[in-house]
Each structure stands twice: as structure tokens, then as C-alpha cells.
């Protein structure tokens, strides 16, 4: 290649023949190894991991959940254990009896958050309350996901008159005031609960059971609407028609094509559902409609703390802070999930 190239005018369109040499095997190999094939799910996860705020919230929630699950198993006090000699201890304070035991060389686990009016360890009660709140959040999310997806998918897929009737039912349910229903229901099922032999039902109490029933009855409508809207737009996609042309059944199309394409909406709606359920439960427990004593909930703890607010303000602080942390983290995580799964919606 020693031929003298004519001098190039920078504005001429004259092309360099060097650029048109056939590619070497090496270069070809480079083109063949393309970037790794990524599924939508993995792509979204990558975006989520890069969202620092969401990851911090996720870590906080995981830590809180682990504490709520594990600590009650190994903690030396239980949430019902009373000690009248140890009422209203401040954090890390010991009662006279406990001090005597320490003096005698025994080890006494400190009351990290003090004790309440009946001398129960406050820390374990807050942790137990957190457990209840998280349980309410997750169970209501589960109910919402299952009922909402099925209802929304069926309504959207079949469309027409089926859709019309199903969505009018949703409209009616949407307009029911949830707090009112909880109050009515818990009054109505109180008798039934008191005669029940099932230990768990008795322990949860009428308030809690009716909270779950009400969440199951009312809260899925938001999810059903979201899923239906999504299904309606997916239904118009030609790949659904191709599947139908191949002979696929309605159930096959719903589960193989439609629900996987709704997954972003489902995850986002469920993540937003959890804090709102936790908040409703706390609120209901606060006004005395939630868990029954002696079981604590963050809402009932906060309510109990009101009476001694001036002398023991920390008793309100702990449960309130926990609710705040849980609800805020879930909301921020929900935002992160929305950004990760639906990048187009990002504001």
C-alpha cells in the first residue's frame, strides 16, 4: 500500500480506500460477541439497584422486618410479662428489684426503651407492634394482588358487557368508606369471635379480623382498575392476536402474555398499598378499633402513650418513629420501583 494518495481536501467527499478493506476475522469476531441479552426484569432490577434512595429504604425495611421476626424469639422479656415493681422505667433504668439482682451478681437484660404502666418491657412491645403492622401490610398486599389481578384481568380480557358490570361493582366498592365498614364489621363479628375456639382468632381479636376482611373486601379495587387498564391496552397488541391465532386459550393468554406485561403496574401498586394499609391499621388501632389487648400495635401503643405524654414523651416517640420510618421507606421504595419498572413515567 505504498501508492501515493492524492492530497485530501477537507471539504471533498473523496473517500479513503483504507476504510473499505474487508474486515479481518478478529474484527468479525468482535461484532459477533454482542452485549449480553437482558430481560426486562433484569434491566429494571439494575435500575433499582442504582437508585440509592430506594436501596437505603430497602435496607431499612429488611432490617426492621428481620428485627420484628427474630428479636421476639430470643428476647428475654415477652410482651405480656408484667412486673408491678418496674412501672414506668426510663430507658436503661432498672427497678429496685432488678438492681438488687444485679448486686447479687445476676445478669439482667436492660429495658432498652423502659417499661410501660404495667411494668412490661416497652422495647418488645414496640417490636411486636411492628410485627403486627408489617403483617397487616404484607397480608393486605397479598390479598390485593391476588384478588386485584384476577378480577382486573378477567374484566379487561373479556371486555364488553362483562367489563361494564364488573367495573360498576368496582365503582360501588370504591365509594364505600373503609373506616366505617371496619367499625360496623368489628361490631358485627365480635360475638362470633368470642365464641371461637381458634386460639389465633381470639388472640387477634375482632378488630384485627375485621381489618383483614375489610382490606380483602375493599382494597383490591385500585389494583383491579390498574390491571384492567393495562390489560385493555395489551389486548390490542398483535402478539395477543397471534397467540389467539395459534389456538391459545383465554387463560393461557392471560397468564402468559397479559399478566407478565402488567408486572410493573402490579409491583408498583402493591408497594404503594403496603404503607397505606399499615397506616390505616395504625389509625384504627389508635382510635381503639384495631388489635385487642394485650396485643400491641404501633397505633395502640401511640394511643396509650398519650395519657402520660408530658411525663413520658419517649413512649409516644418510639412507636410514632417506627410508623414514620416504615411508611416513609415503603413510599420511597415504591417511587424507586416505579422509576425502575416504568422509566417513561419518571418525572
CA–CA dist 246, 242 (Å, integer): 6
Residue among 9, 37, 106, 195 that touches another protein (CB under 8 A): 37
Distances (CA, A) of 325 to 269, 303, 330: 20, 18, 8
DSSP state for residue 76 in the 8-state scheme: S
Is 226:152 a contact under the CB 8 Å cutoff? yes
User: What cell does 227 get?
Assistant: 390491571
Closest to another protein by CB, 233 vs 307, is 233
In angstroms, what is the minimal distance from the CB of 319 to another protein?
43
* Tally of helices (H runs) and strands (E runs) in the chain: 14, 0
Closest to another protein by CB, 66 vs 251, is 251
**Sign of torsion, CA 179 183 185 186?**
positive
Residue among 17, 159, 260, 313 that touches another protein (CB under 8 A): 260
Length of the chain: 347
**How many residues in the shown chain lie near another protein by CB under 8 A?**
20
In angstroms, what is the minimal distance from the CB of 29 to another protein?
13
174 binds another protein (CB under 8 A): no
344 binds another protein (CB under 8 A): no
**Containing H/E element for 214?**
helix 199-218
β-sheet bridge partners, residue 115: 121
248 binds another protein (CB under 8 A): yes
252 binds another protein (CB under 8 A): yes
CA–CA dist 291, 206 (Å, integer): 8
Residue among 107, 238, 311, 344 that touches another protein (CB under 8 A): 238
206: number of Cβ within 10 Å? 24
Residue among 100, 242, 293, 345 that touches another protein (CB under 8 A): 242
Q: Which stretch, 17-25, 114-122, 135-143, 246-254, contacts another protein (CB under 8 A)?
A: 246-254
31 binds another protein (CB under 8 A): no
DSSP state for residue 304 in the 8-state scheme: H
325 binds another protein (CB under 8 A): no
Closest to another protein by CB, 136 vs 253, is 253
Closest to another protein by CB, 25 vs 238, is 238
CA nearest neighbour of 60 among 333, 344, 266: 333
Residue among 257, 276, 300, 333 that touches another protein (CB under 8 A): 257
Write out the residues near another protein by the rule CB under 8 A: 37-40, 237-239, 241-248, 252, 256-257, 260-261
Amino acid at each position: 500500500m505504498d501508492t501515493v494518495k492524492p492530497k485530501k481536501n477537507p471539504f471533498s467527499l473523496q473517500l479513503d480506500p483504507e476504510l473499505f478493506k474487508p474486515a479481518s476475522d478478529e474484527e468479525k469476531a468482535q461484532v459477533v460477541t454482542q452485549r449480553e441479552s437482558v430481560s426486562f426484569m433484569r434491566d429494571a432490577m439494575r435500575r433499582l439497584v442504582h437508585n440509592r434512595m430506594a436501596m437505603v429504604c430497602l435496607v431499612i425495611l429488611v432490617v426492621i422486618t428481620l428485627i420484628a421476626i427474630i428479636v421476639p424469639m430470643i428476647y428475654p422479656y415477652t410482651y405480656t410479662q408484667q412486673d408491678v415493681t418496674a412501672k414506668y422505667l426510663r430507658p436503661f433504668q432498672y427497678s429496685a428489684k432488678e438492681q438488687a439482682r444485679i448486686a447479687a451478681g445476676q445478669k439482667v437484660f436492660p429495658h432498652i426503651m423502659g417499661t410501660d404502666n404495667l411494668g412490661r418491657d416497652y422495647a418488645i412491645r414496640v417490636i411486636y407492634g411492628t410485627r403486627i403492622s408489617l403483617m397487616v401490610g404484607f397480608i393486605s398486599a397479598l390479598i390485593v394482588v391476588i384478588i386485584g389481578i384476577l378480577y382486573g384481568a378477567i374484566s379487561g380480557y373479556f371486555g364488553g358487557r362483562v367489563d361494564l358490570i364488573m367495573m360498576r361493582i368496582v365503582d360501588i366498592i370504591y365509594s364505600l368508606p373503609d373506616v366505617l365498614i371496619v367499625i360496623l364489621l368489628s361490631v358485627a363479628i365480635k360475638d362470633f369471635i368470642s365464641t371461637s375456639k381458634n386460639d389465633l382468632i381470639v388472640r387477634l381479636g375482632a378488630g384485627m379480623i375485621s381489618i383483614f376482611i375489610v382490606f380483602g373486601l375493599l382494597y383490591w379495587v385500585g389494583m383491579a382498575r390498574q390491571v384492567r387498564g393495562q390489560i385493555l391496552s395489551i389486548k390490542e397488541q398483535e402478539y395477543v392476536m397471534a397467540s389467539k391465532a395459534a389456538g391459545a386459550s383465554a387463560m393461557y393468554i392471560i397468564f402468559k402474555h397479559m399478566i407478565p406485561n402488567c408486572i410493573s403496574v402490579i409491583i408498583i401498586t402493591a408497594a404503594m398499598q403496603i404503607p397505606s394499609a399499615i397506616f390505616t391499621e395504625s389509625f384504627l388501632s389508635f382510635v381503639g378499633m384495631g388489635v385487642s389487648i394485650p396485643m400491641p400495635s404501633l397505633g395502640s401503643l401511640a394511643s396509650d402513650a398519650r395519657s402520660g405524654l408530658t411525663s413520658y414523651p419517649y413512649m409516644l416517640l418510639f412507636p410514632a418513629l417506627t410508623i414514620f420510618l416504615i411508611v416513609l421507606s415503603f413510599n420511597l421504595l415504591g417511587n424507586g420501583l416505579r422509576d425502575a419498572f416504568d422509566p417513561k413515567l419518571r418525572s
